[in-house]
Chain A
Amino acid sequence: MNLFDVADVYIKRIVNSTIKPSHEGLTTTMTSPMIGAGAMYGNTSSRIKALLLDKDTISTISMCATQSELLKNEIFLIDTIENKNRDVMRHLKCLVYIKPVEESIQCLIDELNNPKYGEYHVFFNNLISKSQLERLAEADNLEVVVKVEEIFQDYQILNEDLFSFEMTLGSSFHDNRKLFRGDDLSIWDPTSLKNCSNSLISVLLSLKLRPEIKFDSHSKLCSKLAHEINNEINKNDKNLFDFPKMDVPPILLILDRKMDPMTALLQPWTYRSMINEYIGIKRNIVDLSSVPNIDKELLKVTLTSKQDPFYHDSMYLNFGELGDKIKIYVNDYKKITKSNSKIETIDDIKQFIEKFPEFKKISGNVSKHMAIISELDRQLKIKDIWDISEIEQNLSVFKDDDEDYKKLTEKILINPDIDFFYKVKLCCIYYLRYCHDGSNEPRINAIINKLKTQGISLDELSIFENFRKQINFVNKRENEMEQSNDINGDITNVSNNNSKDTTMTHDLLSDILKKFNSKMESAKNMQKNRNRNAGNTNNTNEDNVYLQHIPELSHLLSDLSMGQLSETRYKTLTTRSGNVARNKKNNQPVQDVVVFVVGGTTFEEARFVHQFNDTMKGKIRIILGGTSILSTKDYLNSFS
């Protein structure tokens, strides 16, 4: 269950592709002197290989393989299949790796009609339909294709336990089509549903899982997707999904972002998610060109946990821990430069040259991370994130606190320096917290009025209105579901009550904690002038004002690991008939889980999954994925 390993296997398959001798027999029996040239004259072809990718696979490859890895395998020419102006190089072998979508298939057909290279090994990153295969076969007049294979990586790997489909959420800029429709955004766009289910199928196939599907029954989106996947698996029962049965069946858990909107609204405080929030990271590339006075070499930098050990260790650290970590890193670097500075003897030179490539790598890495971190720090300051986030966290964790309300209305909302985006976001958080009891309605109206007097634009206000509408829809549906559940079983009711009790005590405890924290914070602010993440010296997340909120997913995972996941809330669809009855009765252990969040997941949740995996040490392995990885901007803008 390590996605990097999966990617390595697939990349190896592509770059080391050879023809099986058994297939040549078939080719030669039917070749006329000129047809089948590719296979016939294969011996005179060069060892150099060209790699053709399309716009989807180019990112898959670039996120998992480095240039030098490809070069090592004699892939000296990489191009896109959409590029029609490629030179004819008929001595080269060509590896084609594309997603089986109409555009790419058509490009490949055009290519095969007039092949530019000597022989073709074709790989698809997902299932290809029979008619597509037929059209390709028809186009291959010269019989240049010697291999066709489906491998399954129709998704972007962001970490060993995190994947994304990069489906844009809101009104995307180009086609103005939303992933979801309907008043409460609970209806799939048909093509998006198909794409999403295809990609998810490829995740399952690449991990060789034939899972039990569990889904959040409160969400129509989840139920639809779960059934779609289930159908697809049952359809390909015999030929694709005939993996050995496991004693503990793997689980695919489908969740909906709408069930935990809070996590996606809060300002994040760990390295990776902060980069995503304040600078933006797309396909492992961070664009620093908007940073003032940036070095030319650092305009665009890549961050991969696979190749960059510092990033690997630090991406889930909070901002305070990160500061310490980078300090150590820089000091180490300084030590090396010092040892380099005294080059006197020939031996020193030799040593220096031997170490030079590594040295250069480290120095590049240090300046890269320094640039990113100082930019993060700058953004935090100019946007007043320290204040905003504190209130956000307090609002999200504690109930009914007049102090917070006061702070919100008197400190943040009237501050003209703070962007309206954050003010609207705070409104949303406040509403989300208090929408369950009507008594807070006047306060919410007061907040909105305050915003109006500040001169908020209608567009920005409509974000809040839409958000409010949607939350109301979700709540209504949840209430309906709960009522029907009440009739169904008393047991769940009891457990619900229990959980309510525990949240009460939890609130009480955290209240004390909060008081402690805020005192700590003010004391520290005086000392440290807000330079560092407050509460840092304590180094535990619980004590940190900025990391109080714990995503719903975390509770879910611990429930899941103890076998206490609510069966009524998270319904199970089983693919092997006959299991259903037994499962209901039997509290089965859990081992391999793929969690998929419809509507996008966050790096904060990824951090929890990563930590969970670390503590379970292989007993439970979890992979998290989502239709996309959200920043708070992405999420809030999806309501506009």
Chain B
Amino acid sequence: MSTVGSANSSSRTSIVNAFDLIVCPICSKEFHNLQNLNNHLDVDHNLADHANTTSPSIPTNGLGETPKKKRGIKRSHWKTPRRDKDNLCHDCGGTLTKPTGMVNCPKCGELYCKRHCKNIMKLNLDAEYDVNNGSWYNCCYACFSSRPGYNDFGASVDLTFKFEKLRSSKSEDKRLRLLQLENRLVRLIDGIISIYENYKGSLLMQFRMNTAIFNFECSVAPWKDDLATTECNICGQKFTVLLRKHHCRLCGNVVCDDESTNCSTNIPITSLIQQAQNLPFQKANATDLSDADLKLRICRQCIETVFIGRKFALDIQAAKSAILQKYESISNLSGAIVASLPEFMSLLRKIEGNKEENELSNENDLRNLSKLREKLLKLFATYSTLNRQINACYPKNNSERRIQEAIQITASQFINDNVLPLKAIPSALNPAAYDARQDQNFGESKKLSSVLNKLTIKEVKEYREELMVLKEQIFILEESLTNAKIQRKFDEVTILHTNLKELNDRVKEIQDMLGDEGFL
């Protein structure tokens, strides 16, 4: 057994070195004995002080123990080379001979050739990786690369908690403000409706009602003094004869009604109620407001504070668009397909394996396989119909159109990736290929094919070709059918329908005849 010297291993000079060269762990220079190496380490690598502690000339403890007995690195786990057989390098697998050298990796103890045990790392006396107290040893690549932190990468910092804490510390004030505005909105609407009820039905009272509403509105929100303000609170434009001052009924600020900046809007009460249905309006539902012309002027900021969140929640709860809904089902379907493919593949492999060994496959397996295949084909059929449906949906906006395109690409990719193994099956079940390959097993394979169907090979081929052509025609017809529907040419639609039906009938006929032979 050969060992690799290290700075403090001079005590092991007595160990027999199978192949006389010792390699410096730092610069890979070779030496004939450990003493030379030690000198080299002391002089060239400045390890002198390190080596001193273990130098043989200085007894290391008071018990007078000779340095030779001083504990070196743990070696009990080292593999001993076998005498009866060739020893193989644990890395490259080559036979260990004199030229290749033979060393133990001091950490894992496996045997290596010198070339594959040249990665230096620090080990302590227990042959464990130790950054602080270890000294250099030549180790194998496996030990070298499994050092903690060596192949570590991809640091990341999760700030979610910090972010939420910051957010919640800020949100207290905002929530109070929102509550205040909501309260005012409820009071305003309830108040205005009750005023409306009082004056309802009398045309003469219209003017008095408006005054009453005005006075009431002033009392709910603290209106800012409009004489003191000369510019809009939001957009900062100067008020003029044309740009009139308005008060926001919720916050009381003075704002303009410039349509381009949209600083304030006069909103009908009914739509306000509709947009904020979860607020505790008392009168809103009791009274019929359909012919009442009641409006509230609200500034943009208040609209945003009170209504953006509501609109957002409503949107979230609203039903998904057709494309998104269909995508859910198509992705469920693809999940189901992916889940059942491995079973299918393992069955297929088993049968093919049997065939390789000229054994007759278990009929049960064959039946299961064709059943599974049928199921999968059905799933794929539904998949492609769904896919077609998604394609036919009319996208609401540009984003939906892009999503639609993306789904198309993924779907075709999915079919491309996963239908292939299904196509491979005819060669497993196909008696034609089977027969051609194995004439001597003719009788058996005949039996096999009779399990599946009773057609001759030639017929199968012909029918299959017809089936392919038919399917293609059906596809073209279906496309023109949808086109016709979109263009509202209904007379064409009926003709196409009858054509399609005829084709489908024929396809069914052939499929029945072919049974499992129809691979398309």
- Chain A contact residues, CB within 8 Å of chain B: 1, 5-6, 9-10, 13, 20, 23, 26-27, 30, 32-35, 37-38, 41, 44-48, 50, 68, 71-72, 74, 76-77, 86-91, 113-115, 118, 128, 133-134, 136-138, 140-152, 205-208, 240, 243-248, 346, 350, 354, 357, 562-563, 585-587, 589, 618-619
Contacts and interface: CB of A to CB of B under 8 A. Distances in A.
Contacts of B461: 346
Interface stretch (B55-63, B141-149, B193-201, B286-294): B141-149
B159 A206 contact: no
Interface in B94-134: 118-122, 129-132, 134
A201 to B, nearest CB: 11
A6 B162 CA distance: 25
A598 B407 CA distance: 45
Contact of A142 (B120, B157, B308, B397): B308
B445 to A, nearest CB: 18
B356 interface: no
A35 B324 contact: no
Contact of B156 (A38, A152, A246): A152
A45 B178 CA distance: 26
A587 B44 contact: yes
Contacts of B396: 87
A133 B165 CA distance: 11
A150 B309 contact: no
B156 A77 contact: no
A369 B152 CA distance: 36
Contacts of B317: 41, 44
B27 A562 contact: yes
A205 B152 CA distance: 11
B202 to A, nearest CB: 39
Across chains A and B, which 3 residue pairs bring their CB atoms closest together, nearest first?
Answer: A244-B149, A76-B406, A137-B166
Contacts of A118: 316
B320 A23 contact: no
Nearest to A249: B131
Contacts of B465: 346
B157 A9 contact: no
A465 to B, nearest CB: 46
Q: State the majority secondary structure of interface residues on B.
A: helix
B45 A133 contact: no
Interface stretch (B226-234, B370-378, B408-416, B497-505): B408-416
Contact of A246 (B131, B154, B313, B331): B131
A35 B327 contact: no
12 contacts: A9-B154, A23-B161, A26-B168, A35-B309, A47-B327, A88-B315, A128-B159, A208-B153, A246-B150, A247-B131, A346-B465, A586-B47
B129 A149 contact: no
A295 to B, nearest CB: 23
Contacts of B47: 586
Contacts, number: 202
Contact of A115 (B120, B144, B153, B312): B312
Contacts of A1: 153
Nearest to A29: B168
Contact of B154 (A10, A46, A68): A10
Given A41-B316, A148-B159, A247-B134, 20 more contacts: A9-B153, A23-B160, A23-B161, A23-B164, A30-B171, A38-B316, A41-B317, A44-B316, A47-B331, A48-B324, A48-B327, A76-B403, A133-B166, A137-B164, A137-B167, A141-B308, A243-B149, A244-B148, A246-B131, A350-B423
Contacts of B297: none
A247 B147 contact: yes
B203 interface: no
Nearest to B317: A41
Nearest to A151: B156
B1 to A, nearest CB: 24
A55 to B, nearest CB: 20
Nearest to B152: A208
A146 B327 contact: no
Interface residues of B, number: 79
B27 A146 contact: no
Contact of B316 (A13, A37, A146, A247): A37
Interface string B321-343: 10010011001000000000000
Given A34-B309, A35-B175, A137-B167, A149 B156 contact: yes
Contacts of B304: 113-114
A619 B152 CA distance: 16
A560 B132 CA distance: 23
B154 A585 contact: no
Contacts of B159: 128, 133, 148-150
Contacts of A133: 159, 162-163, 166
A68 B168 contact: no
A10 B396 CA distance: 33
Given A23-B161, A26-B164, A208-B154, A37 B406 contact: no
A607 B163 CA distance: 44
Contacts of B14: none
A387 B171 CA distance: 71
Contacts of A27: 164
B403 A48 contact: yes
A618 to B, nearest CB: 6
A138 B321 CA distance: 32
Contacts of B400: 87, 89
Given A563-B26, A589-B120, A137 B153 contact: no
B310 A208 contact: no
B349 to A, nearest CB: 18
Given A37-B313, A87-B400, A142-B308, A30 B168 contact: yes
Nearest to A241: B155
A149 B403 CA distance: 26
Contacts of A563: 26-27
Contact of A20 (B160, B315, B423): B160
B508 to A, nearest CB: 21
B26 A87 contact: no
Interface in B258-313: 278, 304, 308-310, 312-313
A247 B129 contact: yes
Contacts of B358: none
Contacts of B168: 26, 30
Contacts of B152: 208, 243-244
Tell which of A137, A147, A152 has the most Cβ of chain B within 10 Å.
A137
A33 B278 contact: yes
